[in-house]
């Protein structure tokens, strides 16, 4: 299967803000119209591709994505984060190439209300993990990120 997520990520990352926001919102809406297997594949592809985007572009895209996620209804936010957490726990090597400190800097740069909504969602998802998944997640997520996200 071709990694369409990589193409989408690269395209979105290079867009100016006024184009990136609505395009990302459309892509997120499409995600929730997919079946479970397709969603899982999209998240896997995204995790495999995201770190290949130059960090300044990736950081802009991540900030937009985090803000869009914070604006979603909590149930949808949980559904999407749960898939990312499942993928990371099942294949921890996917997170190794990411600049986690830089990503946490992006997270710190969004509004406090958004940070609280996102951290609450991630903490809720992490609380439902089985002990082995939680252990793996703690090993691959830096302490500062774990603390900020309530893992």
Residue 121: is it exposed, middle or buried by C-beta count within 10 angstroms (0-12/13-18/19+)? buried
Count of structural domains, the chain: 1
Q: What is the pTM of this model?
A: 0.87
Q: What is the distance between the terminal CA atoms of the chain, rounded to a whole angstrom?
A: 33
Distances (CA, A) of 15 to 12, 22, 45: 5, 11, 20
Contact status, residue 55 vs residue 102, Cβ threshold 8 Å: yes
Rounded mean pLDDT for each run of 10 residues along the chain, 151 residues in total: 70 87 90 93 89 89 94 94 90 89 93 93 90 86 80 74
Name the residue range of residue 17's domain. Answer: 4-149
The phi, psi pair for 34, rounded to 5°, reads -80, 160
pLDDT of residue 59: 93
Helix (H, G, I), strand (E, B) or coil at 130: coil
pLDDT of residue 137: 83
């Amino acid at each position: 299967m071709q990694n369409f997520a990589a193409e989408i990520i690269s395209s979105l990352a290079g867009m100016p803000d006024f184009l990136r926001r609505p395009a990302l919102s459309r892509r997120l809406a499409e995600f929730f119209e997919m079946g479970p297997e397709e969603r899982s594949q999209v998240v896997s592809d995204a995790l495999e591709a995201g770190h290949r985007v130059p960090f300044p572009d990736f950081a802009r895209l991540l900030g937009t994505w985090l803000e869009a996620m914070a604006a979603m209804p909590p149930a949808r936010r949980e559904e999407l984060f749960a898939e990312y957490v499942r993928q990371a726990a099942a294949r921890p090597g996917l997170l190794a190439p990411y600049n986690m400190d830089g990503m946490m800097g992006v997270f710190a740069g969004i509004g406090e209300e958004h940070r609280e909504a996102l951290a609450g969602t991630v903490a809720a998802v992490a609380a439902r993990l089985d002990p082995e998944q939680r252990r793996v997640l703690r090993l691959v997520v830096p302490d500062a990120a774990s603390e900020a996200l309530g893992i």
